[in-house]
Amino acid sequence: MFYFSLKNNNIVHLPQVPDLAIYIPNFITQKEEDEIVKHVNKAPLPKWTQLSHRRLQNWGGIPHPKGMIAEEIPGWLQKYINQVSSYNVFEKEKLPNHVLINEYLPGQGIMAHSDGPLFHPIVTTISCGSHTLLDFYKRVNSTEQHQPDLKFSFLLERRSLFILQGDLYHNYLHSIAETDTDVVTKSVIKNLNICGERFSEGQTLKRGIRLSLTIRHVPKTSKLKLKIG
């Protein structure tokens, strides 16, 4: 796997994990993080979709197998799409056109899943408000019901950018455990050496309210673009 560390502009190769994941600490500033939180929290209530374990917002449209009816993305959010796109991880014909914002309260998470065929297989995520631990499991082609084995994890710090693509997108599932705290385990968390902060073995990290901005390209869209006031 390689990571590009914005802090010292170097590429770090790590063993025992798939290729083509990128982690950038301090991708946005504290002021930009505050700006994102403010805009998300002042969104009108109908913009929120309430799920059983979290709530979320869709910007740019709602992805659907028959095609996403495109909506105009507001300027405050387009700013961060442009920042992510400046790293040239997306092809010019497949620039991001959708942002999913998930709100995770302490103790909330998401079950092991893959993002699937509705999206171009590159996922970029900005974390705001709190860290989280993103766990990865090898995809098993089996009809048997069993608990997948944890292969490794990434510590996503607040204000960081994480880019998931290639083998990690196609052949692994990812999840966030439903817990209030995370314990630093160096043998499991693979990006500790390039995190913005320093962490020690066995350290307990308390979660706060986290907003994740998942920025992606939806290939199948309608030609009609709606402008939402």
What is the domain partition of the chain in residue ranges? 12-222
**Which CATH fold topology does 12-222 show?**
Jelly Rolls (2.60.120)
Residues in the chain: 229
The pTM of this model reads: 0.90
Q: What are the phi and psi torsion angles at 63 (to 5°)?
A: -60, 140
pLDDT digits (tens, 9 = 90+) for 111-139: 999 888 889 999 999 999 999 999 999 88
Q: Contact at 8 Å (CB) between 77 and 97?
A: no
pLDDT digits (tens, 9 = 90+) for 158-215: 999 999 888 888 889 999 999 999 999 999 999 998 899 999 999 999 999 999 999 9
Q: Percentage of residues in the chain with pLDDT exceeding 90?
A: 68
Q: Contact at 8 Å (CB) between 115 and 123?
A: yes
Q: What one-character-per-residue DSSP string does 68-84 give? A: EEEEPPPHHHHHHHHHH
Evaluate the CA torsion angle 155, 158, 163, 168 in order and state its sign.
positive
Q: Per-residue confidence at 21, pLDDT binned at 50, 70, 90?
A: confident
